[in-house]
Amino acid sequence: METILLSSAYLPPVSFFTAINSGGDVLIEQYDNYCKQTYRNRCRIATAAGIQTLTIPVVKSDSPKQLMKDVRISDHGDWRRQHWNALESAYMNSPFFMYYQDDFRPFYEKKYEFLIDFNTELTLLIMKLAGIDKPVKLTESYGNKKSENQGFTDLRSLIEPGKGEPENPQTYWQVFRQKHGFLPNLSAVDLLFNMGPEFPLYI
């Protein structure tokens, strides 16, 4: 199976893991230019009030362009506590949050310097808890071409807000589904906390 090339993402959406599950090895791009308004530093979760976007603040670069691998996380706004409180409030009544909370909580207690490291370790954790066993590596240069030795399926631009959203997503039980209806392609933690070990059946 061909290698899948993806952009880095914070608590990536379900479609990110659907892409991973469809291919072979996984490459995460770290030499692209950091872009605002993407999943690189934000995710979407389901709350009692509807969809909530959680955004990680980053240190502003002196340059108009900055490689993803160089993006530093800011401590502005006590975001770690806010994000964890939001996750806890949204999913405390989900079937599996209590089983996984101790795996995720340390990420909101430890300070990571670089966004790429934080995102990658969270992605690896979700894969581990979901039983997805595939090699994941960061790119060693910008992945802008295929070679005879390393072909890949480029999904970097697909897994972005408003792009590549499934037209008929496979639905699953959500805490607030009766109130809001099914909310597709949220962060994969929504699927994990609601469906637990059945996660692979929905991607």
Contact partners, residue 82, CB within 8 Å, separation at least 6: 54
Q: Render pLDDT for 29-55 as a digit per residue (tens, 0 to 9).
A: 999 999 888 999 999 999 999 999 999
Say if residue 143's pLDDT is above 90: no
Model pLDDT, residue 113: 97
Whole-model pTM above 0.85? yes
Domains of the chain, by residue range, sit at 3-197
